[in-house]
Chains A and B, each alone.
Chain A
Amino acid sequence: MAKAQGLTWTIDDADHMTQAEIYGEVLTNLGLEDERIVALTADLAGSTKIGKFQKKIPERFFNLGIAEANMIAIASGMAATGLIPVVSTFAVFASLRAAEFVRTDICYQKRNVKIIATHSGTSFGQSGTTHHCTEDLAVMRALSGITVIAPADSFETARAVKAGIEHDGPVYIRIGRGFEPPLHESLDFDYQIGKALRMRDGTDITVIACGVPVLHAVEAADRAKEQGVSVRVLDMHTLKPLDEEAVLEAVMDTRRIITVEDHNVIGGLGSAVSDVIAKSGKGCAVRKLGFQDEFSIVGYPEDLLHRYGLDADGIMGAISDVLKQDFETDEDWEDEI
């Protein structure tokens, strides 16, 4: 049973909590320590778990009803008075319904608002496509001045929420619906916004993932190892600012990269990583796993990850494909960065 350790608080049993529960808990504890923190939601206090904050600190909690754009602008106004607003709703509404409000009221005006977007990707798969969100990373990455984070499990979520609140500036944290299996065993790991975590070391190929697919990438790496293939796995929990150094190292060391995300392959992690590879000027085989510019079908999240090749099986398949892929190497194959 892992404990999540804050400055003055602990959460028991962190490994049995979903991403959303953990974030609700961490946020509440931070709120008890810092009176500037206020929590806002749009009729989703229960579903997003920001309701935990409401129970403990009702005077600093605001439910705006089902009015997401309004909520974002109100949060910006509150931030203008020195408060630290944390807003929470489903990813599709935070990033798309309210997109222009996030851009103009939070990013453009540099307001210290934290957005915690739940039910992202296809984590609410049965709900249907109106509630999937495979575009938010692309939209948020394109907004200037916002930090974009996609934690892989509840432990990372705890770290991200704390680090996000300590960071001065807009932050978007994308989490699932809940029920995500843990990647880490405890909160005891080096966590820094903008710094990828190397989950497995390897020299033949690198898998760079964010969110729930990181766990699947690790499983694929372990299976590949048994077949004599050495796979590096990077948990790229921060999409912006991206850990370019880690990507460049992967280019130089393995020359083959696969990206995996519960997101459209346009504009998300794969695109961010590809930008760095292009800039490097080095030959590198790249495969972007994600939704190939299509809306997902309806289904259970784990079935969808499998169907769209984002689980360990899919990643294994991509590894063997990309290992076979030919490309022109350059003379500096052995370059150091």
Chain B
Amino acid sequence: MLTAMEKKRLEKKARQLREHIVEVTFTCGGTHIGGALSQHDILVALYYKLMKIDPKQPDWEDRDRFVLSKGHGGVGHAVVLGDLGFFDAALLDDFNKTGSPFGMHLDRLKVPGVDASTGSLGHGLPLALGMAMGAKLQGRSWHTYCIVGDGECHEGSIWEAAMAAGHYKATNLTVFVDKNRLSLDGPTKDVMNIDPLDGKFEAFGWRVITIDGHDFDSICKAVEDSHAEEERPVVIIANTTKGRGVDFMEGQTAWHYGGLDAEMRDKALASIRRTG
């Protein structure tokens, strides 16, 4: 469980990094900001409370593994890694610019701390499962975490991996679905319905925990529960809001990807500060 102090610390960190996501979006011309803001609190809980990592040793063998299967959220991941000191955060000023190590989708060979180069949807979950299976086979202690988009769950490869994880009882894998209910073209229920997501995962042999993906107590409790599970892989269906924290982006399909001018940036920052 989180202490009140810890929770406050996480909330403060999340706010500070949301601001940074807005800044990077402003300087680079455009990012997948909507989905970066919806996954954000999960990422902050993982990196600042839950995962066993060492920014000074990005390749430390026993570190927990993390795969951002919805790789377009790379801007949010990069901001976290930069803040933790995996690399010089000033490099983010050139995010997306020619010659920068950062594309919108992060490259594991260029960005320290990134365990898998994702961006093509539907790859990250099987990649993460492979890492979990590798740990088990070799008797290693690391835990593998993965964030999948809800639209991403359209991909057949997500369900191929889900079936395999159930089959191999990958209990050292914890998966979040960032369920913001929007994909690129609109609400998932209109584009291609994925519900009931919990019933689907259960049918594939998973334990399902459903939470508010912006509440740090719930996120941390769900992860603790996932560690205690001994029979099945665990998926945490995190109900989230696309664009969370920036009032004019919240729940808006149009903010899947976008840029900000100075005025919009100021409005976005003001909104983030207000909600904090």
Residues of chain A whose beta carbon lies under 8 Å from any beta carbon of chain B: 41-47, 51, 63-67, 69-70, 92-93, 97, 125-131, 297-300, 303-304, 307
Contact = CB atoms under 8 A, between A and B. Distances in A.
Contacts of A67: 154-156, 192
Nearest to B254: A46
A128 B191 contact: no
B106 A128 contact: yes
Contact of B103 (A47, A64, A65, A127): A127
A298 B98 contact: yes
Interface in B175-213: 183-185, 188, 191-192, 194
Given A66-B192, A299-B99, 11 more contacts: A65-B192, A69-B156, A92-B120, A126-B96, A129-B103, A131-B105, A131-B120, A297-B99, A298-B98, A298-B100, A298-B103
A128 B97 CA distance: 10
Contacts of B151: 43, 65-66
Contacts of B103: 126-131, 298
B254 to A, nearest CB: 9
Contact of A66 (B102, B106, B121): B121
B98 A297 contact: yes
Nearest to A92: B120
B119 A299 contact: no
Contact of B98 (A46, A64, A131, A300): A300
B184 A47 contact: yes
B13 to A, nearest CB: 26
B26 to A, nearest CB: 15
Contacts of A92: 120
Contacts of A43: 151, 154, 183-185, 191-192
Nearest to A65: B192
Contacts of B154: 42-43, 64-67
Contacts of B121: 66
A70 B96 contact: no
Nearest to B123: A130
Contacts of B126: none
A45 B185 CA distance: 6
Contact of A46 (B106, B155, B184): B184
Contacts of B74: 128
B33 to A, nearest CB: 14
Contacts of A66: 121-122, 151-152, 154-155, 183-184, 192
A297 B97 CA distance: 10
Nearest to A125: B98
Interface of B: 28-29, 71, 74, 96-107, 117-122, 151-152, 154-156, 183-185, 188, 191-192, 194
Contact residues of A: prevailing secondary structure: helix
Contacts of A42: 154
Nearest to A63: B191
A130 B100 contact: no
A70 B183 CA distance: 17
A127 B105 contact: yes
A126 B99 CA distance: 10
Contacts of B184: 43-44, 46-47, 66
A207 B267 CA distance: 51
Contact of A299 (B98, B120, B194): B98
A256 B74 CA distance: 45
B101 to A, nearest CB: 8
Given A44-B185, A299-B99, A303-B98, A63 B119 contact: no
A228 B190 CA distance: 61
A98 to B, nearest CB: 11
Contacts of B96: 126, 298
A299 B105 contact: no
Nearest to A303: B98
B185 A128 contact: no
Top 4 nearest A-B pairs by Cβ distance? Answer: A128-B103, A65-B192, A299-B98, A130-B119
A245 to B, nearest CB: 39
Contact of B185 (A63, A93, A126, A297): A63
Contacts of B99: 297-299
A41 B192 CA distance: 11
Nearest to A301: B98
B9 to A, nearest CB: 32
13 contacts: A43-B154, A63-B185, A63-B192, A66-B121, A66-B155, A126-B29, A128-B74, A128-B102, A130-B105, A131-B103, A131-B120, A298-B100, A299-B100
Contacts of A93: 120
A65 B183 contact: yes
A207 B103 CA distance: 32
